[in-house]
A and B are shown apart, each in its own frame.
Chain A
Amino acid sequence: MQSTILRTAFCCSYHEDKRTKNNSINICIRQNGVLSGKGKTMKEVCTGAKSEQQSKLAARKYARIIQKLGFPAKFKDFKIQNIVGSCDVKFPIRLEGLAYSHGAFSSYEPELFPGLIYRMKQPKIVLLIFVSGKIVLTGAKVRDETYTAFENIYPVLTEFRKSQQ
């Protein structure tokens, strides 16, 4: 069945080696840079979209492609698995202080990675905090979790902000 797909389809890059290892194909839909992967059990994963709507749209486009190839495709159970956000607080942060003060949640190993990895418990989000003030938040299932996490971390960051001269 897989080989049928391969013989009939696809425009942009799709990765052959992945296919031989896990019996799945990756298709890249050009428009919004979304990458879709489909496994043997016909579960589809879609990454790279810039918003929830775009992600859903891309997934449906993909399902449509499969449909057009003659396979009985149905679009069921669309679920967002992960939302990644980034922002900038625009002041430098003393990561060492944060690591000392919130040691239970922080993991700061400058020899490995320049950023501090903060694992927030409520909501369950992982934040990467950098000395330049840029923050990356990941692990959210809904958009609001990202916002809440940022609201929670902001006072902590100001605590260890570089004081103005």
Chain B
Amino acid sequence: MVYCSHCGDYCPAIKDPDKGYICCGICGKILDQEIYSNDPTFTKDGAGQSRLAGNILNSVESGYSASHERTLMKGRDAIKHIVNSLHVSGGDSIIDQAHRFYQIAVDKNFTRGRRTSHVAAACLYIACSYVLGAVFLQLCKILRLAEHPIVQKLIDPSLFIHRFTERLLGGKKNNAVSETALRILASMKRDWMQTGRKPSGLCGAALYISALSHGLDYSKSDIVTVVHICEATLTKRLIEFENTESGCLTIEEFLMRADELDREPNSTQLPKPGEVLCKHKDSEEQHFAHGLCRKCYNKFIKISGGLEGGAEPPAFQRAERQRAEAAKKEAKMRESHHDKQHFDKDNNSIHDNNGANSIKFTSDEAGNGTRAFKDPENSGCEAVDASTCKESQDQNEKTVDEQESLSDIDDVEVDGYLHNEEEKHYKKIIWEEMNKEYLEEQAAKEAAAAAKMEAFENSSEDTKQRIANLQKSRKERRQKRAEEAKNSTPARSPFEATCNMLKRKGFGSKVNIGAVGSLYTSDQENLKKQKAEPDTLDSGGNPNDIKENNDAPDEGDAENGSEGEAIDEGGVTEADFDEYYENGDEDYSYQEDFDFE
């Protein structure tokens, strides 16, 4: 952001990578022109090889090179685009917040291998706290938000109903349809249809039923475009709902029943004894039920429908059905095999034989099935236990002596794995054919290496020495850095974080550490004033300017550092951050008397 005299305001700056000037993003006025060239120059060294002039550290702007700015700007544009198209409230402040997250993500190389739009969306999510996807979870880990309360929020599908209704009806707001949909959703929750499912799927089904029951003719494909699930899922949810009790009622009966349930007093339970385990465990909240304080318990009931009554979840019903089928099969097996001892003998022989007969396999399964029925709780563990005991008995003697020699392994089998001469020949042909590109690459690499070696041989003695030294020092540096990175703990203060970053980027010796320290002790005014400067940075090759230039980008780091502080550690900012999200907490409860107008 730079101050544009034409606009009279702070505007986003656009930096032209070719010409090197900086112009205002809104009116286009050129604000600054770079004098120094960004392009690299080459010189020839003693051996006749072209080398890059100057040091290997080619971005003296310490990480805020033109391409970095471009990346950040792209991210900001992506965030802005999402905010505009989703009509997210909050405007610029939300964009700024999301953009700050994005900066941290870029610093940690999080944007590599991921689409800009995805990372931008995830940053926006964190800023607005809506669910987005796996990117979000990983980003949370990177930003060390994993333990932060906002990640623990569960999404109530009821929240989406209003938005979807509006979208479906093309902008109009229909109270009745939304109300019915919400009731249907509540009934689904009570019937355990919601646990483990995507909220949008249930919303789609509820909306579909509600719209139809109010006489509005919307097809399944309409719903699908609004809710973004596939038709098969929608059909599945509808069938599941149909199978529940509420699914058999007509719409009037259903609404009557829903009213009755609503009128029942919710908190009929007295506080039960127990330990508070929810996120309020450090405060003085009293335990209400199931390890939750009263507030969390109410939230839990609202979002999930509680533990009492209702139908079984469909996943559980499927599991039960499979168990019933297995029981039936096992009963049939028992009828056909009268001899129980014959059973056990078969089981034993399975472990010794390598070949598997299909009949033997099913009897093994059935054998395991009987064991499973006896102990419902430890079914899987038991069966495995028995078989391994038998195995260990068989092989106990052998394995102890034959540690090194490996001669106990069945040679016949091993020989079966190896090819004979003819097979070898064919395999070679096939493999070479399939991997032609790889072989060509290898050949090219070898030729290049050979050429290098030759050049090396031909060069004079001291260049050889120099090159060898250079390689050794490079390797040592790399190893040391890798070790440090492994052993280092996350920085405890913004000052430490800055020092670490500088060391990593290789400017540790070129920066005045004292000046960096003074940055963090100066007052807020100073920091804010210098915020405008990073955008007007030149790519100065002048060593005298290095210190100055490094100060300004350190501001950027200070920003990042303070941002990190706000998220990680305690301090004044942490309370503000929390407060912001606690208020969002209340917004999550949907209000009955929400005025739609």
Contacts and interface: CB of A to CB of B under 8 A. Distances in A.
A9 B309 contact: no
A15 to B, nearest CB: 12
Contacts of A89: 377
A7 interface: yes
A157 B316 CA distance: 15
A50 B364 CA distance: 15
B137 A110 contact: no
A132 B313 CA distance: 7
Contact of B192 (A56, A103, A131, A147): A131
B137 A100 contact: no
Contacts of B482: none
B409 A165 contact: no
B376 to A, nearest CB: 5
Interface string A90-126: 1111111101111110011111101100000000000
Contacts of A61: 409, 413-414
Contacts, number: 185
Contacts of B414: 61, 64-65, 68
B307 interface: yes
Contact of B380 (A11, A20, A85, A114): A85
Contacts of B299: 100
B198 A103 contact: no
Contacts of A56: 399
B433 to A, nearest CB: 11
Interface string B307-349: 1111011011011000000000000000000000000000000
Nearest to A135: B380
A31 interface: yes
A113 B235 CA distance: 20
A6 B452 CA distance: 30
Interface in B276-300: 277-279, 290-292, 296, 299-300
A88 B307 contact: no
Interface residues of B, number: 72
Nearest to B387: A51
B319 A94 contact: no
Given A100-B299, A100-B300, A112-B137, A131 B313 contact: yes
Interface in A130-154: 130-134, 146-147, 150, 154
Interface stretch (B23-31, B423-431, B498-506): B423-431
A124 B126 CA distance: 29
Contacts of A53: 388, 391-392, 395, 399
Interface string A1-45: 000001111110000100010000001010100000000000000
A147 B381 contact: yes
Given A20-B438, A86-B380, A112-B137, A8 B319 contact: no
Contacts of B290: 97, 101, 159-160
Contact of A64 (B277, B384, B409): B409
Nearest to A90: B376
A163 B190 CA distance: 12
Given A88-B379, A96-B300, A165-B309, A51 B279 contact: no
Contact of A133 (B292, B303, B316): B316
Nearest to B425: A7
Interface string B48-65: 000000000000000000
B54 to A, nearest CB: 35
Question: Which of A56, A87, A101 has the most CB atoms of chain B within a 10 A radius of its CB?
Answer: A101
B409 A60 contact: yes
A82 to B, nearest CB: 16
B152 interface: yes
B134 interface: yes
A29 B417 CA distance: 8
B403 interface: yes
Question: Which of A86, A91, A107, A111 has the most CB atoms of chain B within a 10 A radius of its CB?
Answer: A111
A10 B419 contact: yes
B147 interface: yes
A104 B277 CA distance: 9
B278 A115 contact: no
Contacts of B438: 20
Contact of A51 (B154, B196, B388, B428): B388
B354 A131 contact: no
Contact of B196 (A86, A91, A107, A131): A131
Contact of A100 (B278, B310, B316, B380): B278
A16 B436 CA distance: 12
Given A60-B406, A100-B278, A130-B196, A51 B431 contact: no
Contacts of B307: 94, 97, 160-163
A81 interface: no
B435 A20 contact: yes
Contacts of B413: 31, 61
15 contacts: A6-B427, A64-B414, A67-B406, A96-B195, A97-B290, A97-B292, A97-B307, A103-B278, A109-B131, A110-B196, A110-B199, A130-B196, A131-B316, A162-B307, A165-B309
Interface of B: 131, 133-134, 137, 147, 151-152, 154-155, 192, 195-200, 277-279, 290-292, 296, 299-300, 303-304, 306-310, 312-313, 315-316, 318-319, 354, 376-381, 384, 387-388, 391-392, 395, 399, 403-404, 406, 408-409, 411, 413-419, 424, 427-428, 431, 434-435, 438
Given A6-B427, A95-B196, A162-B310, 17 more contacts: A7-B427, A16-B435, A29-B417, A31-B354, A64-B406, A64-B411, A92-B195, A96-B303, A96-B304, A100-B300, A101-B278, A101-B296, A103-B279, A109-B131, A110-B197, A132-B313, A161-B307
Interface of A: 6-11, 16, 20, 27, 29, 31, 50-54, 56-57, 60-61, 63-65, 67-69, 74-75, 85-97, 99-104, 107-112, 114-115, 130-134, 146-147, 150, 154, 159-163, 165
Q: Top 8 A-B pairs ranked by shortest CB distance?
A: A114-B196, A132-B315, A96-B304, A101-B291, A132-B316, A131-B195, A87-B380, A131-B196
